[in-house]
Amino acid sequence: MRSSSILSVASSLLAFQSVNAYDDENYVTCGSAIKLAKTEKKGGKYYLNSGGHRINAGSGQQLVTASPTSDSRSSLWVIREADKAATCTPGKPIAFGTKIRLTHMETGANLHSHNVRSPLTSQQEITAYGSEGEGDTGDNWIVNPARGSDKYWTRESEVFIQHVDTGKFLGCSEQATFSRNNCGRNCPVMNHLETFGRDGKDEFTKWSTDIGIFLSV
């Protein structure tokens, strides 16, 4: 299925608030539009988010943050096959260790990373890159379980999301919050967290998904 088609399918499903047919297993599947959540030690949840804003430093690419708001469409990401890989079957469970892309549903850009420093913590920059779901190998990620030996990605399970090209792990922290002091008076992402690529697996790099539109075969 072409990238534009899979984005259209995911978008149309939003009106129905669908639940996948794998209720016994709660699989996260190809073509699903999901919200990735990071839970902080104090109990707050932040959701991987993007929009039309650009980073004012580094690459200047589309900004990706972690938002404290759970009900925004700008936190929906469509799970797709990796760059140059065979098209994955919509509704097929995602096996851990599989290379995937996460395409931002509103803008069509892919979750991306590269060897550029992030603006607040000087770790590795996380951006959204490409157009209509097409980009390059910097858009490829691997999802693996944070604990246990499950074969497939399931809802609410904690996972690590690793960037294929650089080996860094997707992360965020309340210690790196966009504020008036570091982002300006009219900061469009006030109170969002910086997302970054991190060297190892730790509490800063655990994500889960319990909200989304889950396709089934």
**Secondary structure of residue 138 in the 3-state scheme:** helix
With bands split at pLDDT 50, 70 and 90, how would you rate the model's confidence at 4? Answer: low
Model-level pTM? 0.89
Q: Which residues contact 201 (CB under 8 A, 6 or more apart)?
A: 146, 160, 169
Mean pLDDT of 150-159: 95
pLDDT at 56: 77
Q: Which of 193, 162, 168, 161 is nearest to 116 (CA)?
A: 168
The CATH number of the structural domain formed by 3-213 is 2.80.10.50
Mean pLDDT of 161-170: 98
Mean pLDDT of 155-168: 97
Mean pLDDT of 94-109: 97
DSSP H or E run through 182: helix 180-183
What residue ranges do the domains of the chain occupy?
Answer: 3-213
With bands split at pLDDT 50, 70 and 90, how would you rate the model's confidence at 152? Answer: very high
- pLDDT tens digits, residue range 72-94? 899 999 999 999 999 999 999 99
pLDDT at 7: 58
Of 43 and 167, the structure prediction assigns the larger pLDDT to 167
pLDDT at 10: 52
Mean model confidence pLDDT for the chain = 89
Residue 18 tokens, joined: 């669908």
pLDDT cut 90: percent of the chain above it: 74
DSSP H or E run through 6: helix 3-13
- pLDDT tens digits, residue range 6-49? 555 455 444 434 444 444 469 999 999 999 999 988 778 999 99
pLDDT at 15: 40
Backbone φ and ψ of 87, nearest 5° = -60, 130
With bands split at pLDDT 50, 70 and 90, how would you rate the model's confidence at 172? Answer: very high
